Amino acid sequence: MRYFIELAYNGKNYHGWQKQPNATSVQETLESKLSILLKEEIDVIGCGRTDTGVHAKNYFLHFETEAIFDTERLNFQLNSILPKDITIFSIFRVEPNFHARFDATEREYEYWISTKPDPFHFELSLLYTKPLDIEAMNETAKLLLSHSDFECFSKVHTDVKTFICNVTYAKWELRENGKLVFTIRADRFLRNMVRAIVGTLLEVGKGKINQEDFKQILQSKNRSEAGMSVAAHGLFLTKISYPDFKK
């Protein structure tokens, strides 16, 4: 039987989602706790990777087991033994072929920037207090919607077969308490893609490059032409979209 888990995590203390040798990951932590509770070795498949220090406000995984259990009770038990920086929202059964990663139709990320010092958000946002031309950043961000090859924003030597992504939304918004948020949605994202896009759009906001420069960066397919990647601690995976769940 296949089950989905909806959860969230603060990525500060983890070397990303995916388990790896000699490093603490979210995937490894969840597998360990599920295996204890279900008394068998459990492997989990996540809806995607997040890099070291990146957070997820909305994340899904699936696992398989023949064990009989009450989903609400397992939810409570998991939250009782997991670290406080991982929270389980729900556990539910799905059809055997429903896949946490491959059946996801859209993903949304947010990047948070604090435009003034804030003692409550310094660990969850990038502090940048100098003026930014948000209008120019938004006009330039629109170019992402009409482009498809994002190799220029991908981590080099990555093991993907294609750099094609369908970006459907990209916008900066100034919210309460001086928090500047960049929201981007696409069917898929490349490793480091969002952080590289944010870093390059900040160069636009600073007036160091213009919209035409950004267009040339997109066409270059060269990571070295784009701006620096911003720090991981301001990045959040905020939404995973699926077709209607068939429980």
Q: Give the tens place of pLDDT for each residue, 160-192.
A: 889 999 999 999 999 988 899 999 999 999 999
Q: Give the tens place of pLDDT for each residue, 93-130.
A: 999 999 999 999 999 999 999 999 988 888 999 999 99
Instruction: Please work out, in degrees rounded to the nearest 5, the angle formed at the alpha carbon of residue 192 by the alpha carbons of 220 and 157.
Output: 65
Q: CA-to-CA distance for 247 and 241, rounded, in angstroms? A: 16
Mark whether 244 is an active-site residue. Answer: no
User: What is the per-residue pLDDT for 247?
Assistant: 42
Residues of the chain under the 70 pLDDT cut: 245-247
Which residue ranges make up each domain of the chain? 2-102, 106-239
Tokens of 32: 């360990």
Is 202:132 a contact under the CB 8 Å cutoff?
Answer: yes
Q: CA-to-CA distance for 175 and 153, rounded, in angstroms? A: 26
Query: Hey, do 2-102 and 106-239 end up sharing a CATH topology, with the first three levels equal?
Result: yes
User: What is the per-residue pLDDT for 245?
Assistant: 60
CATH topology for 106-239 is: Alpha-Beta Plaits (3.30.70)
Question: Which class in CATH covers the domain with range 2-102?
Answer: alpha beta
Q: CA-to-CA distance for 64 and 47, rounded, in angstroms? A: 15
- pTM for the model stands at 0.94
Among residues 51, 85, 103, 244, the one annotated as catalytic is 51
